[in-house]
Amino acid sequence: MIKPDLSLPLPAELGAVHFVGIGGSGMSGIARLFVASGHRVSGSDRSANHNTDDLRALGVAVSIGHDAANLGDADALVYTGALWPDNPEYLEAVRRGVPVLHRSQALAWLINPKRLVAVAGAHGKTTSTGMIVTALLELGADPSFVNGGIIQSLGVSSSFGSGELFVVEADESDGSFLLYDTAVALVTNVDADHLDHYGDHDAFDAAFVTFADKAAELVVISSDDPGAVRVTRALTHRNVVTFGEDAAADVRLHSIGSAGPVSFTVSWRGTDYSTTLRVPGRHNALNAAGAFAVLVGLGFDPRASLDAIATFGGTERRFELHGVVRGVSVYDDYAHHPTEVAAALSAARSVVGEGRIIAVHQPHLYSRTQAMAAEFAETYERLADHTIVLDVFGAREDPVPGVTGALVSERFADASHVDYLPDWQQAADRAAAIAREGDIIMTLSCGDVYRIVPQLLASLGTDRDG
């Protein structure tokens, strides 16, 4: 992957902009904003998806496959952090002296001079960002935003608004979240990840300290997550608001009811405010508490803020229902770290009732799989009734000898609770054979595991008595 040089000055003007990796959730959202701001936009990706289809409908010239000729007469190239340095379009831009921007630099160029709310953390960013955006719209603030997933009620992951606020999901994976001139920083948690970039836990923590202390107005940070607590102790910022179940939290979360859509109460400055969300899971109560802290920190009325958050209906690929066949519900979730998997499976448990959970796990990244195979196995064995493990989705990484999905399945204490099935059709058939009425089949990964959902639905629909 290409490590961005965030020290490079941004061009004063950007004309025609070409996006390499335009089909990704974050890249497509930024590309949409460039279209809305009047730029001519083109792009490429290795395969078509609904994002590339939507961008084509907006007049964007999208090429499938990478070729130097795709750059055309673009005035700037924007790349994703998953891009390899031998990409022909990237090399052509460098050869011609065309300005090359990491996606965070392109987004920073667009944000100026808005008042930025940046949401960072190893988990919960997309949902927390979606809650803040949804609430601000309900409160009449009309923000601009870029989220890592499509907000279901809006049908988009990004938009320009008329208000002064700009809300972004800030990516910590490569340090690019340090580029932004942030007014309000929300840190959902500091659960160490992306150590292939940072090297060790201390460097990961230090990046979050820098991110938070740079916020011009306010830092909102978890009181419950151990990493966030470490970061909080190191902050020099004068305006820090904590949120969580900890008794000393400024926004204290309590009275959580997690059977189905989650209900809870938050205490703020001596007053309790209660609500029920439209989405399940204790983790979403925590996400809502963080969003609430941001909104009241921005000056919005507490009761109105919580009511507005409660209208949030979810984002795509976060516990997203795709279909029900013979009484079996098929969900997809973006979870790709043991903590996220635990939250997603706990949310599923709160709605499945007497049914069972059959998890389909696609390991994401060779480095993460190698480092966390035991944690994944423990989480799935504890929280799912059966797990089917696919092979590793390498994304930006080269394969590592000996690192396959079997690293996870082999670490189950009870081998009868897991299957390692690299063949997707075999995996779909196995999940359908296990499932019975009332069960949930749930795919989990930030790779391309969502593409197996049609196979799962089709396998469920096959007559198994014939």
Last-in-domain residue among 278, 309, 340: 309
Helix axes 338-352, 282-297, angle to 10 degrees: 110
Is residue 285 within 8 A of residue 293, CB to CB? The reply is no
Query: Residue 30: what pLDDT?
Result: 92
Q: Are residues 419 and 457 in the same domain?
A: yes
Number of domains in the chain: 3
Residue 4 belongs to a domain: no
Q: Is the pTM of this model over 0.85?
A: no
What the block records as the tokens of 96 is 């011609």
Q: Which amino acid is at 397?
A: E
Residue 441: strand, helix, or coil: strand
Is residue 288 within 8 A of residue 311, CB to CB? The reply is no
CA-wise closest residue to 185 among 210, 208, 218 = 218
Query: Residue 311: what pLDDT?
Result: 94
Is residue 23 within 8 A of residue 52, CB to CB? The reply is yes
Is residue 387 within 8 A of residue 418, CB to CB? The reply is yes
Query: Residue 466: what pLDDT?
Result: 36
Query: Residue 213: what pLDDT?
Result: 97
Describe the strand order of the beta sheet including 386-389 as a list of residue ranges.
320-325, 328-333, 440-444, 357-361, 386-389, 418-420
Residue 443 belongs to a domain: yes
Last-in-domain residue among 309, 341, 373: 309
Q: Are residues 389 and 410 in the same domain?
A: yes
Q: Are residues 229 and 133 in the same domain?
A: yes
Which DSSP symbol is given to 76? E
Q: Are residues 193 and 296 in the same domain?
A: yes
Residue 204 belongs to a domain: yes
Task: Say which CATH number the domain at 408 has.
Answer: 3.90.190.20
d(CA 149, CA 429): 29
Residue 224 belongs to a domain: yes
Q: Are residues 231 and 193 in the same domain?
A: yes
Q: What is the pLDDT along the chain (466 residues), one digit of tens a residue?
A: 677 677 777 888 889 999 999 998 789 989 999 999 999 999 999 888 888 999 999 999 999 999 999 999 999 999 987 788 899 999 999 999 999 998 889 988 989 889 999 999 988 888 999 999 999 999 999 999 999 888 888 888 889 999 999 999 998 876 778 889 999 999 999 986 655 555 577 888 999 999 999 999 999 999 999 999 999 999 999 999 999 999 999 999 999 987 778 899 999 999 999 999 988 888 899 999 999 999 999 999 999 999 999 999 887 777 788 888 999 999 999 888 898 899 889 888 878 888 999 999 999 989 889 999 999 999 999 999 999 999 999 876 889 999 999 999 999 999 999 999 999 999 999 999 999 999 999 999 988 898 999 999 999 998 544 3
Q: Are residues 301 and 327 in the same domain?
A: no
CA-wise closest residue to 455 among 428, 421, 436, 430 = 428
- Annotated catalytic residues are 125-126, 169
What the block records as the tokens of 459 is 């396998």
Query: Residue 441: what pLDDT?
Result: 97
Instruction: Provide the domain limits for residue 59.
Output: 17-102
Is there a cis peptide before residue 261, judged by omega within 30 degrees of 0?
A: no
Q: Are residues 298 and 381 in the same domain?
A: no
C-alpha torsion sign, points 248, 249, 250, 254 = negative
Is residue 360 within 8 A of residue 456, CB to CB? The reply is yes
- Residue 39: is it exposed, middle or buried by C-beta count within 10 angstroms (0-12/13-18/19+)? middle
Residue 7 belongs to a domain: no
Q: Are residues 167 and 207 in the same domain?
A: yes
Residue 314 belongs to a domain: no
**Across 152-283, where does the E strand assignment appear?**
156-159, 165-169, 184-187, 218-222, 240-244, 251-257, 261-268, 271-280
d(CA 316, CA 153): 10
Q: Are residues 119 and 251 in the same domain?
A: yes
d(CA 258, CA 280): 7
Query: Residue 148: what pLDDT?
Result: 82
Last-in-domain residue among 50, 78, 102: 102
d(CA 240, CA 218): 6
Task: Say which CATH number the domain at 162 has.
Answer: 3.40.1190.10
d(CA 28, CA 141): 24
Tell me how many degrees the CA angle 332-172-120 measures, rounded to the nearest 5: 75
CA-wise closest residue to 42 among 71, 14, 15 = 71
Q: Are residues 275 and 345 in the same domain?
A: no
Backbone angles phi, psi at 150, to 5 degrees: -70, 130
Query: Residue 133: what pLDDT?
Result: 97
d(CA 167, CA 116): 6
d(CA 369, CA 375): 9
